[in-house]
Amino acid sequence: MTRLRQVLDENRWEQAPQLIIDFLRGIFSAQQLAQSWGQLIQNLIKSWDLRQPDLPQHHKQSTLERVLINFGNQPEELNQKLVALLQNWNASPSSRDLPRPSRCRA
């Protein structure tokens, strides 16, 4: 970034585009995704289609919607949250994080 400032301060505009490209590549390569988007979407579709008696489809829909609403504008965090959601969906029923229905006692 300091090199880019120096080039701009010295009016060497011909060097600016390449420095900007290099800067952006550095930023994007530093971002680590929990899983590649292609693999994540493929796994999401497989898990969505998998019918599990203890995990109703409406629960999958509501949890997916909640993740998309809360993290839809943050790609890296959305990736991490979707990976965690899939891990929860694919976990054994005893270890799955499901809300338990409350029982009312009179």
Tell me whether residue 104 is in a domain: no
Parent domain of 7 = 1-30
Check whether residue 25 and residue 67 sit in a common domain: no
DSSP category for residue 44: H
Which pTM was predicted?
Answer: 0.62
Residues 52 and 86 in one domain: yes
3-state secondary structure of 93: coil
Please name which of 82, 81, 86 lies closest in space to residue 96, comparing C-alpha atoms.
Answer: 86
Cβ 31 vs Cβ 76: under 8 Å? yes
Q: Tens digit of pLDDT for each residue in 2-19?
A: 787 887 888 888 888 888
Domain count, the chain: 2
Q: Looking at this protein, which amino acid is placed at residue 77? A: E
Does 102 map to a domain?
A: no
The reply to whether 43 and 59 lie within a common domain is yes
Q: For 25-49, write each residue's pLDDT tens digit.
A: 776 655 677 888 899 999 999 999 9
Strand partners, 55: 52
Same domain assignment for residues 52 and 67 = yes
Token look-up 């880019």 returns 4
Q: What confidence tens digit (pLDDT) does each residue in 55-75 have?
A: 999 999 999 999 999 999 888
